[in-house]
Chains A and B, each alone.
Chain A
Amino acid sequence: MFDNFPLWPTAASSHAVTEDWVYIFLVVLSAVMSLLIFLTIVVFGMKYRRRHGREAQQIEGSTILEVAWTVAPLGVFLGIFAWGAVLYFDERTPPAGAAEIYVVGKQWMWKLQHMEGVREINQLHIPVDRDIKLIMTSQDVIHSFFIPEFRVKQDVLPGRYTTLWFHATKPGIYHLFCAQFCGTQHSGMIGEVVVMNASEYQAWLTGGAPVGSLAQDGQTMFLQLGCQTCHRFDVQGRGPNLVGIFGKPVQLEDGRVVTADENYIRQHILTPGRTIVSGFRNIMPSWQGQITEEQLNSLVAYIKSLNPPPAGAAGVPNP
C-alpha cells in the first residue's frame, strides 16, 4: 500500500540520516505544541462556555507568565537553530579529497562532466561510499540541483560556480529534480542519480568509448585558445605561471588578496580586467561569450590539475 501512498522518502546519504533526526524532532515538537494549543482552546471553549448565571472572571494578564512564554520558546528555538546550523555547516563544507564532477544546468537539462572525461545528460552515475563534490553553473537561468533521497539541494547560478557535496550510502537509483522554476519545461528538468558499487562503477566508467579526461580536454582548449603564448610553464611569460596557483592566495593589483578557487579562475577567464594580478599588465583578453560552459569547466579542471595531484581523484577510494 505504501508504494502508492508513501509518507517518507528513502534516506540514501550520510546527510539524509542526520537531517531526518532534526526533522523528526521538529515534527514531534510541532505535533505536541499544536495539540496543546488546539486542546486548550477546545477545553477552554467547553469548560467556560457561556451559561446563565456565570460571569467571566476578569484577568488583566500576568507578567510571570509572559516572561515564561517568551523565554521558554526562545530557548527551544535557539536549540533548534544550533542543531540546524551544525547540519548546514557540514552540508556546505565539502571534505578535502572529494571526487569532483562538473555540472551545467540549462533550460531544460542537466549536463554532467566527470573528471575521467565521461559526459552524461540527466543521469549521474556515482560510486557508493565516496565523497562527491559537484561544481555547478548554469548557462541561462537559475536552476536548482535537488536529490531528495540525499536531502540536498543547491541553486545553480549563471555566471558563477556553486558547489554541493554528498556521500551516498546505498546503491540504487534516486531522483534528480530541478527545484528552481526555470520556464516552460521546468518539471521536465529531471533525471536520476545512479549510485553503484565501486566495481560496477569502474566497469561503467571504462565501458563507454574511450575518452580523454576532463583535464586533458582542458589542455587541448588551452593550446587551441593560445593561452600558452602568455602563460608559460618554463619561464615567466607575459602572464603568470599557472602551475600550483589553485587554492593559493593571489595578491591583486588593487590591493585585495583573494583565493584562487574555481570561481576566481572561471571569472578570470571571462572578465580578466576585474581581478588583475599584482605585477602584471591588464592585457589578458576576455573569453566572455566565446567558449561554452563545458569548455570553461574543462579549462578550470586543467588549471587545477597543474597543482600537485590532490588525494583521491574520482575512482580512487578516499584515504
Chain B
Amino acid sequence: MSNTIEFKFSRGESLRFLSHLDQQRVFQRALRRAEMPVANTQGFNPRPILTFALAMPVGMTSLEEYGRVGLTADVSPEVFLNKMNKSLPSGLRIESAKKLEVEGKVPSLTASITDCLYRVQGALAIHSDETQLADIVNNILERESLIIPKRNKRGKMIEKEVRPFIDQIEILEVKDGRYLLDMHLAYISQESIKPELVLETLNQTWGSAIFDLDPGLKIQRKKMNLKKS
C-alpha cells in the first residue's frame, strides 16, 4: 500500500440522487479522465483499488466522506486533488488528500469510523415546537434500551437494540410543521444504524408518529470521525 492516497470528499445537492454504485463509477471514470495511474486488484477480473469508508444512500448529501485509491506511481496529494477536482462533475469535490504513509497492514477506512453526525430535515407528524419536541425526544432517549423489529441482511425479521448507537439528538429548529435536527450516531464494531431507523424507533417508542418518514426526508452527513492512526 505504498502509493495509497486517502481523500476526503463532499457531495452536494446536484448529485444527491447518485446510488453508491453510480458514484463508484463516477470516481473510476474521473480517475481515468484525470489520468491517474490507478492500481488494479490481482486475479481474473481486475478492478481498480478504490475503497470508500461508507456507502452513500440515494438522496443523501455529505460534507465529509472518505475514500482511498491505490496508485502504481507516486502522485502528490496536491496534484491528485487538483486533477481530480477538474475531472469530477460539479456536485462531487475532493476536500483534502493525503498520502497514506503506514508500513504493513492498515486498518480499513470502514474499521476506522468512530461516529457520524447527521443533519436531518423533514416534516413533523405532530404539532409541536422546539422545546416540546426536544422533551419528547430526550424522554425517549432516557431509556437504556430501545428495541425495534428490523429485517436483517438475510431478510429475516429480528429484534434490534439500537440505543447504544444513538449518542445524541439535538433539535435545532421547528417551524411551519418542519424540523431541523442533528443526530450523532456511534459506530460499534463497524456497525451503526441509519438516521431513518432512529426516527422510526422514536416514532414506535412514542406510540404514534412524531416524524413524517416519507422519502422527502433530507439527510446530510456533516461529519465522519475516524480513529486517529
A binds B: no
